[in-house]
C-alpha cells in the first residue's frame, strides 16, 4: 500500500456535523449584520507580503513569526492572509470605494504559523466586520452592540466579558512608550525573557503580559491614560456613554493592547474564562490611520473579528446546536420503484423545500432500508414497493409511533401540510 499523505499540522478537516453548525452560526451572524445594514464582501486569500508588513506591523508576532510567506513562480513574495482587515483596506483603496461610508463583513480562512493547540490553529476562520468613513464614537459603540447582539442570538453572551481600552493617537502613544521603556529599563530584572525581547521590538505588548512578575512591575509603571489629550479622552468617554445607553456591560482594562499595530483610540476584546488559554473569542477597535498608511486618503475606520472555532467551542459548552434529522427517508426496492419514488418525491421537494428528504438510493431489502431510516433518526419512512407502484400510492410510516398509511400524492401533500408544516 502507498504511504498515506496526512493533512498539514494545525489545519483541520471540518467534518459534516461541525460544518453544519458553522453554516448555522454564519447564517445567524449574517442576519444580525444585515439588520444593521452591513453588506458582505469577498476578498482573495493571497495578498502581496508588504501589505501585511505595513498594515499589521513588522515587529508584531503575526508578521515577524507567523506568516505563511512564499515566492510565487514570478519570484514575487506573497502571503496567505493572517487577518482580513489589511485586505479589506487594500480593496477599498483599489476599488475607489472610500468616497462613501462602507459597512462590510467578510468571512473566510486565515493562516498563522502558531503553535497549534486547543482553540489555536494554523488555518482558522474569521468573520470580520469593518466600517469606513465614520469618525464618531457611536460607530465603536455600534460595533460592540453588533457583537452583543450576535452573542445574544447565539446564547453565549452571558459567558463573555467585554473589555475595552483606549490607545489614544500615535503621538500620545509614542510619548507614553518612551516613558514606559525608560521605566521598564530601570526594572529589567523584574521582566521575563519575552518582555525583555519586546522592550526592543514591541514595548506596548508588555502591558498584556501574563507573567506575574511583569504584572507586578507594571503596577507602578506610567499609565497611557495620563498621556491622552482632551480629544482622545472625550472619544473614549463618549463611547462608554453609548454602551451605558444600550445597557451593554463592559470592563475598562487599561492593560488591553492589541497584537496588531494599526489601532488607535478604542480597542476591545470579548473574553471568556471557559476556553482556557485561548479566552479571547472576538477583538477589534478603531484604525483611523490605516487607510492613509496603505496609500489611500485619510479615512476613519473601525472593526472587529471573531474566530468561528472559538465561538463554536464556547457554544458547544453552553448551548450546543442540535443536528437536524431527516424528515422523510425514502425506501424503494427495484429500479422501477426507484424511478416512481423519484417522480413522487420531486413533487414533494418542490412543495416542501424546507423538509429534509433523504433517499436510500440502493438496491437492498426493505427491512435493511428501514434499519437505515431508523439509524438516520428520520421522522417518517416513505415506502415505494410493488403494491404502491400498482396503486399509485406511497406508504408513509411514522417511525416515532409506528403507524402507517397508504396515501396518494395529493393525500400525502395534504397530510404533510397539516402534520409537519
Which residues contact ligand HAM (rule: CB under 6 A)? 83-85, 112, 114, 120-121, 124, 126, 128, 130, 259-260, 280-285, 287, 303-307, 309-310
HSE-up (13 A, CA, CB side) for residue 392: 3
Q: Please state at what angle helix 16-35 crosses helix 137-153, rounded to 10 degrees.
A: 140
Name the minimum Å distance from CB 275 to ligand HAM.
10
Under a CB-based contact definition with an 8 Å cutoff, are residues 409 and 342 in contact?
no
CA distance 136 to 238: 9
Name the minimum Å distance from CB 365 to ligand HAM.
47
Name the minimum Å distance from CB 88 to ligand HAM.
8
Closest CB to ligand HAM among residues 187, 293:
293
The SS3 of residue 71 is strand
Name the minimum Å distance from CB 374 to ligand HAM.
38
CB atoms within 10 A of CB 46: 15
Under a CB-based contact definition with an 8 Å cutoff, are residues 206 and 255 in contact?
no
Name the minimum Å distance from CB 252 to ligand HAM.
19
Closest CB to ligand HAM among residues 172, 261:
261
How far is residue 362 CA from its own chain's centroid? 39
Rg of the chain taking only CA atoms, in angstroms: 28
- What cell does 250 get? 463592559
Strand pairing partners for 105?
Answer: 40, 129
Closest CB to ligand HAM among residues 64, 413:
64
Name the minimum Å distance from CB 112 to ligand HAM.
5
Closest CB to ligand HAM among residues 149, 345:
149
CA distance 171 to 190: 28
Closest CB to ligand HAM among residues 57, 203:
57
Closest CB to ligand HAM among residues 263, 321:
263
Amino acid at each position: 500500500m502507498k504511504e498515506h499523505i496526512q493533512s498539514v499540522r494545525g489545519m483541520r478537516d471540518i467534518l459534516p456535523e461541525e460544518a453544519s453548525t458553522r453554516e448555522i452560526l454564519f447564517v445567524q451572524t449574517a442576519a444580525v449584520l444585515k439588520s444593521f445594514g452591513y453588506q458582505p464582501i469577498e476578498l482573495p486569500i493571497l495578498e502581496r507580503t508588504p501589505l501585511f508588513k505595513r498594515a499589521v506591523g513588522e515587529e508584531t508576532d503575526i508578521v515577524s513569526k507567523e506568516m505563511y510567506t512564499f515566492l510565487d513562480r514570478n519570484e514575487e513574495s506573497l502571503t496567505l492572509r493572517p487577518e482580513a482587515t489589511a485586505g479589506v483596506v487594500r480593496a477599498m483603496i483599489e476599488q475607489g470605494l472610500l468616497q462613501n461610508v462602507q459597512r462590510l463583513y467578510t468571512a473566510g480562512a486565515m493562516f498563522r504559523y502558531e503553535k497549534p493547540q486547543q482553540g489555536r490553529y494554523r488555518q482558522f476562520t474569521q468573520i470580520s466586520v469593518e466600517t469606513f468613513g465614520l469618525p464618531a464614537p457611536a460607530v465603536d459603540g455600534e460595533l460592540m452592540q453588533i457583537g452583543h447582539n450576535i452573542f445574544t442570538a447565539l446564547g453565549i453572551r452571558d459567558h463573555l466579558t467585554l473589555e475595552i481600552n483606549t490607545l489614544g493617537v500615535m503621538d500620545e502613544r509614542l510619548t507614553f512608550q518612551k516613558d514606559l521603556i525608560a521605566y521598564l529599563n530601570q526594572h529589567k530584572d523584574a521582566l521575563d525573557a519575552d518582555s525583555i525581547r519586546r522592550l526592543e521590538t514591541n514595548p506596548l505588548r508588555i502591558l498584556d503580559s501574563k507573567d506575574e512578575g511583569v504584572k507586578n512591575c507594571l503596577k507602578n509603571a506610567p499609565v497611557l491614560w495620563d498621556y491622552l489629550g482632551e480629544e482622545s479622552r472625550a472619544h473614549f468617554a463618549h463611547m462608554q456613554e453609548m454602551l451605558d445607553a444600550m445597557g451593554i456591560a463592559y470592563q475598562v482594562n487599561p492593560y488591553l493592547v492589541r497584537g496588531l499595530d494599526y489601532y488607535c483610540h478604542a480597542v476591545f476584546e470579548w473574553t471568556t474564562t471557559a476556553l482556557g488559554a485561548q479566552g479571547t473569542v472576538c477583538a477589534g477597535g478603531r484604525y483611523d490611520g490605516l487607510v492613509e498608511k496603505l496609500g489611500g486618503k485619510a479615512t476613519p475606520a473601525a472593526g472587529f473579528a471573531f474566530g468561528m472555532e472559538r465561538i463554536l467551542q464556547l457554544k458547544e459548552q453552553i448551548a450546543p446546536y442540535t443536528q437536524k434529522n431527516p424528515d422523510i427517508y425514502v425506501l424503494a426496492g427495484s429500479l422501477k420503484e426507484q424511478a416512481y419514488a423519484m417522480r413522487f418525491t420531486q413533487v414533494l421537494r418542490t412543495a416542501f423545500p424546507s423538509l429534509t428528504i433523504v433517499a436510500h438510493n440502493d438496491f437492498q431489502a426493505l427491512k435493511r432500508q428501514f434499519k437505515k431510516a431508523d439509524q438516520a433518526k428520520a421522522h417518517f419512512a416513505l415506502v415505494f414497493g410493488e403494491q404502491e407502484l400498482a396503486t399509485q400510492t406511497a406508504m408513509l410510516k411514522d417511525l416515532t409511533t409506528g403507524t402507517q398509511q397508504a396515501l396518494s400524492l395529493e393525500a400525502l401533500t395534504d397530510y404533510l401540510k397539516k402534520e409537519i408544516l
